[in-house]
Structure formats: C-alpha cells, structure tokens
Structure 1
Amino acid sequence: MDLRQMRAFVALADNLHFGRAAESLGISQPALSQLLSKLESEMGAELVVRTSREVGLSPVGELFLEGCRRTLSEALRAEEIVRDAPLGINSHLVVGSLGAGANGPLPEMISSFRATVHGLVVELHHHSNSATLEREILAGSLDLGVVRAISNEQLVASRRLLDEQFVVYLPETHSLASREFVRLHELAKEDFILWPRYHGPSYYDLVISGCQRAGFTPRITGYGTSLESQLALVAAGIGITLQAESNSSISRAGVRCIPLAADLGATLWLAYRRWHRRPIVDRFLAGSPTVEQRIRSSRDAR
C-alpha cells in the first residue's frame, strides 16, 4: 500500500464517482480503477461497493477512510516541513480546538508564542467535540488540542486553561434582552437551541444537567451544528441558546448576548501527548501560562 493508492481511495470517497475522482487527481479513470483494485487486493477486503448506478464505501471502507485521511495529513505535513526548511521556516504547529477555545484564549496564546519562534507556521483545525480532538492528538495528527475533557489520562496530558461562566443568546426583541444578567431558572419556559448531542456530548449534557438543577428540563425546538447556525436560529426566533462565555466574542445582527449568573460553568483544557511529542510542543507549553499563573498576573496588575 502506498500513498498514491490512499489518495485514489480518498478521492473516490469524496466524490463517489470514478470520473470526477480521476479528474480531481489528474489521472485517467482506468488508472484510478487499477490503483483501487491493487489497494483492495493488498488489504484483502472490499473497500468500495460498485453497482451499475452508484459508488459507495463498504463498512470496512468507511473505517479505513479515517486512517487514510490521517496518514495523508501526516505525509503532507512532512512534505511541507522539508519544502519550507530552505526558506527558513523551521517550525510547524498543528492545533485543534473547540469553538470556545478559538473564540477565547487560544489566539492570544498563539500570538505570544509566534513572537518567540522565527518562521513559525500554525495550522488551526476546528472540531465540535473533545473526543475527536483526543483521538487526533493520540494519532499524532494534532500537536495540541483545546478540549472540555479527556478520557485517556494515561496517554494524554492536560493543563487547565480557563474556568468560564455561560452566556445566553436571545433575540434582540426578547423581554430579557435589556437585562444586565439572567438567572438560569428564568429561562424555564423558553425554547432552546442546542448542538445535536452526537456533535458535543459533554456540552449537551452540561447544559441539560444545569437546567435540571435549576428546576426544569429545557424544551428543545432547534439544533445547530455550529455556533453560527445556532445564532441564525436565535435570530429567526426559534429559541435561545446557552454558550460558554468565550463565545461572547461572536455577535450577530438581531441577537443579544446576556451574561448568565453563576449557575453554569465549564473548564477549557489544553491537551497534548504525555509522551513522544515534538520539541515544538514542549516549547509552546513552556511559554504558555496556566490558569493559576494568569490569575496571579491579573491580581498583580491591579
């Protein structure tokens, strides 16, 4: 199995059409078929299901696809490092983050680190849940990840970045939109917009359990797979949404963001491999203050 075969398989998975997949790779359709046949022969399994009308992946092919994407991503990183070295670009850092990390502490951390490393190239990937980030860290596809929680503490280390409260996004015409803050129990009769649970189980469960502690179970009338899509539904009057305070840096026409009183909170963690990590990661960790250090620095500044 070589990278050409994997690229052919991924191209077909993305296009589900032999002609379009071959065109995207700049090869002929017979050449694409030959690469895939050789790959399936070497793997000893059918990866692609072909009929007269459509092309799809077998169950084994679906599982194999994730590994192929990861391997190709690592190969691309290696190529970029070699290609960039003569230009004086000697460091490449790949970071994955939940939206709250990207909208919150991460930009400042990257900015500070970039000022200390000549020729640093930063690659930032958005993820919707911590479990995916943890898998990518373990696989080596990510150097660092900003997560809500980790499950494999033996292999993945973490550093507490931020303890934060929540905010509520409301339509600007809502009766609570002019308030300085809102208590969670005041939202008991509202319609709620959430992530689908499979996109972010920890966040979903955090919101549900927080509402139940406040005396109600939220009535869900909409789902959004991104913060932007949820705010669009809020603007449309479908309901309200609770978000971590980091996300309050994001605004949208027709929507107001109001702090939620200290009824609900969450923590952001910086996750990384406990062992076998690249030197650039250790350098980043050495220059990144913990939440306790930031609190002390803030107190000293006062």
Structure 2
Amino acid sequence: MELRHLRYYVAVAEECHFGRAAQRLHIAQPPLSQQIKQLEEDLGVTLLNRSTRKVELTAAGQRYLERAREILASVDAAGDEANRIAVGEIGRVSIGFTGSATYHLLPAIARRLRAELPDIDLDLHGEMLTPQQAEALHSGVIDLGFLRPPVHDRQLRYEVVGTEAMIAVVPHTHPLAARASVEVADLAGEQFVSYSGFNRSVVFQVVIDACQRAGFTPSIRHEVGETSTLVSFVAAGLGVALVPQSVQQLQIAGAVYVPLAGDAPTVELAMAMRDEPPSPHLERVLACLYTALPEIDLTSLR
C-alpha cells in the first residue's frame, strides 16, 4: 500500500462518485477503480458498495476514511514541519549573556524574539563570563553570545554592538554614596569587590587598568563570578566596585550606583558566534536582532 492509495480512497469516499473523484485527482476513471479494488483486496474488506447509480461507504469504509484522513493529515503536517525547519521557522537557539547584560539585555531580547519568532525555542544562559562563553560556543552549548571583547580566537567571530561607561557601586552608608559623581582616584585605599581575575574576566582587567591610570593598584578583597553576588557583597559593606553602567538595572538594597566623573573607562559589548555559516533558524534570529538592538532601550548602546 502507498500513500497515493489512501489519497485515491479519500477522494472517492468523499465524492461518492468515481467520475468526480477521478476529475479531482486528475486521473482516468478506470485506473482509479482498479486502485480502489486492489486496496480492498489487500485489506480483505469491502469499503464501498457500488451500484450503477451510486457509491456508498460500508461501516468499515467509513471508519477507514476517518483513519485515512488522519494519516494523510499527519503526513502533510510532517512535511510542512520539515519545510519550516529547513527555512529556519522552527528550531532551537541557545544564547549566552555576560553578567551585566543578563539583567536588561536578556529580558529585552527574549521578549522581542518570542514576539517575532514564536516557533524558535530559546535557551538563554545568564551570568556567563567571556571565557565561559567562548568555551560554550566551541562545544555547541550556545549558538550566540553577548560578551565583552576582545576574544582572541580565530574560530569565533564577533561584532561590537555597543559601548558603555563604567560606574562605581558603593554601600549606602559610604561617604561617597551621597556624591553626584566620583573620580576613580577617590576609591584609592578602598577594599574592592571584583569579577574573578582567575577566570580572565574582561571587566576585571578594565578595573585594574582604570585604577592604575588613577595612580593606585586596587586592593581586591573579594573576587566573584556573578554580578548579583558582586553587588550583594557591596551592599553588605564588604567593599566597593567598578561595574558596567548597565549593572544599575540590578537594584539591591544597600548598594548605591555613582557615575564616574571625567573620562570614565568603558567596556564594549559584542555579539559572538562560531566562524561558520549559521543554521537557518539562527540566521532568522540574527536578522531579528540586527533590527531589534538599535530599538531596545539599552544603557550600553547609548
């Protein structure tokens, strides 16, 4: 039995007339009659009662019609789904976000992608440092990353999508908390909470360089891996920190964000992926992001 036999039978059963069914199928009537007869012989069941005036379905024929329709609908749906996957309308895309981008960029992008590409399954990973994202891109854990460049890896390519200034975050009881702005030099002598230098955080090196340009080497009391932990440590009075401006989207009681005066140090935000042609569904996500990013109200993109 082939699928065409089911299509032939459905046409005859719905028309209850071999002539009209043949016209609908664009075939001659005699071969159609032979195919239906062969189907009944294969099944060992009479599906249709024929007379010179009409064709009627038997009880078995009615049930077979219902099942045949279900099978054909499933086959058509499978073909449609395969086509949609092939053109990128359906698929799964995993995206990583660096710590500070987790709290504003991630939800904004997620909302946009779900609205415009509802059949793309999103797998979102927050609080990933640049080295972690590079490893995840290589292993296929993520397909796309929003990270802090530079990325010295020829198997990855990235495009800078924004630059943001660094700001200070201090405990609310700290004398600098009431200031409209501070100089980096004002933090000399303070204990610092920082992203992990061991994990090669890009922001860690930016903080070190900024402090050294201001004439001191920061005394780092705590190194952490997550932005929420860093700000929580500052709120607990364990030190001060320099963070990307977008971190102020994360409001934690006891922590106060203070702009840096003068020529504040900056960090870039980049969109990175493997240096290979993207899958059809990733290509659709990228096209959506290129449109969405300039429209999203991001502190980092001003």
Above 0.5 in TM-score?
Answer: yes
Shift of the alpha carbon at 1:254?
Answer: 1.4
Q: Provide, for residues 196-218 of structure 1, a one-character-per-residue CA deviation record: whole Å limited to 9, x for no partner.
A: 31234322111101110111111
State how far apart, in whole Å, the 1-side matches of 2:228 and 2:289 are. Answer: 29
8 Å CA contact retained: 1:134, 1:150: no
Counterpart in the other structure of 1:66: none
State how far apart, in whole Å, the 2-side matches of 1:286 and 1:195 are. Answer: 32
Q: Alpha carbons of 1:184 and 1:201: their partners in 2 closer, same or farther (altered >3 Å)?
A: same
State how far apart, in whole Å, the 2-side matches of 1:221 and 1:90 are. Answer: 48
Counterpart in the other structure of 2:275: 274
Alignment of 1:28-67 (within 5 A): none
8 Å CA contact retained: 2:191, 2:240: yes
Identity %: 26
What code does the residue aligned with 1:182 have?
A: V
8 Å CA contact retained: 1:127, 1:133: no
Q: Provide, for residues 139-183 of structure 1, a one-character-per-residue CA deviation record: whole Å limited to 9, x for no partner.
A: 222110111125355321212122001121111111111122222
Counterpart in the other structure of 1:148: 148
Shift of the alpha carbon at 1:277?
Answer: 2.4
TM, length-normalised to structure 2: 0.63
State how far apart, in whole Å, the 1-side matches of 2:127 and 2:109 are. Answer: 18
Q: Provide, for residues 55-112 of structure 1, a one-character-per-residue CA deviation record: whole Å limited to 9, x for no partner.
A: xxxxxxxxxxxxxxxxxxxxxxxxxxx9xx79x9933211111112222333323322
Counterpart in the other structure of 1:234: 234
Aligned with 1:288: secondary structure?
Answer: helix
State how far apart, in whole Å, the 1-side matches of 2:174 and 2:291 are. Answer: 38
Q: Provide, for residues 2-48 of structure 1, a one-character-per-residue CA deviation record: whole Å limited to 9, x for no partner.
A: xxxxxxxxxxxxxxxxxxxxxxxxxxxxxxxxxxxxxxxxxxxxxxx
State how far apart, in whole Å, the 2-side matches of 1:236 and 1:110 are. Answer: 31
Matched, 1:287 2:250: no
Q: Alpha carbons of 1:199 and 1:210: their partners in 2 closer, same or farther (altered >3 Å)?
A: same
What code does the residue aligned with 1:219 have?
A: S
Aligned with 1:108: secondary structure?
Answer: helix
CA RMSD of aligned residues (A): 2.8
Counterpart in the other structure of 1:25: none
Counterpart in the other structure of 1:162: 162
Q: Alpha carbons of 1:232 and 1:210: their partners in 2 closer, same or farther (altered >3 Å)?
A: same
State how far apart, in whole Å, the 1-side matches of 2:147 and 2:117 are. Answer: 24
Aligned with 1:280: secondary structure?
Answer: helix
TM, length-normalised to structure 1: 0.63
Aligned with 2:95: secondary structure?
Answer: strand
8 Å CA contact retained: 2:168, 2:258: yes
8 Å CA contact retained: 1:211, 1:218: yes
